[in-house]
Amino acid sequence: MSDLNNNIPNGSQRIKAAAPILYGQNVSFTLSRNIPQNITGLQKSNSTVSADTTVTMYIPELVEISSPKVETSKDLMPYCFYKNFVLKWNTDTKNENGLVVVVEWSGMYVTGQKENKYVRNIDIITDDNGSTTLKNEIFNGISENAIAFITLLRGNIAIVDDYYSKQEIIDPYSLIAETHAILPFILVRNLD
């Protein structure tokens, strides 16, 4: 990643500049670990041995919710009917892990009232094909006119077993790459 740091400008353009280099690509990471020598049995001291491991993993494309579409401030919290709710996003043809969809409600209503309640419902979307009809059950426990949030997450994980973790001296690395989009919305249960 050291070469990458030299090619990305500082400031607010940092993520935009990194997107074509990181997302939708196989990226190699060199992970360094300092191992206390007394753990490895090499000698009894407070010194350490440095061990590097390189792992290449797929970093998924940035996920963006395309429908319901929010383009202006008046669209910021669309009213969404819970039955047969269609969620659309940009596809990632290289993503073999599917997506996670989370619907959360912290008790807030569009009227400004607040209830002491928190709901989080989670489901898996197995195919990253750009569209799904959410199961009605993902909205369970969320009231009419509730201000809720849909989080759509696309990710990948690599468990890296290096020499030391295979010897059960130290735990393996977990390298995680994720991207997510959040859609605030107002839940509609009754169309009458």
Q: Are strands 131-133 and 86-89 parallel, antiparallel or unpaired?
A: antiparallel
Nearest-angstrom CA–CA distance, 146 and 110? 6
Give the amino acid at 20: P
Residue with tokens 């419902």: 121
| Stated length of the chain | 192
Is the pLDDT score of 165 beyond 80? Answer: no
Helix %, strand %, coil % for the chain, to 5? 15, 45, 40
Residue range 148-159: average pLDDT?
94
Phi, psi of 11 (to 5 degrees): 90, -160
Residues 6+ apart with CB under 8 A from 9: 17
**Which pLDDT does position 142 carry in this prediction?**
98
Nearest-angstrom CA–CA distance, 178 and 160? 17
**Which pLDDT does position 192 carry in this prediction?**
82
Q: pTM of the full predicted structure?
A: 0.79
Nearest-angstrom CA–CA distance, 51 and 31? 8
**Which pLDDT does position 16 carry in this prediction?**
58
Nearest-angstrom CA–CA distance, 70 and 88? 12
36 forms beta bridges with 48
Is the pLDDT score of 68 beyond 80? Answer: yes
pLDDT per position as a tens digit, 15-55:
555 667 789 999 888 877 776 665 444 445 566 666 778 88
Confidence class of residue 65 from pLDDT cuts 50, 70 and 90? Answer: very high
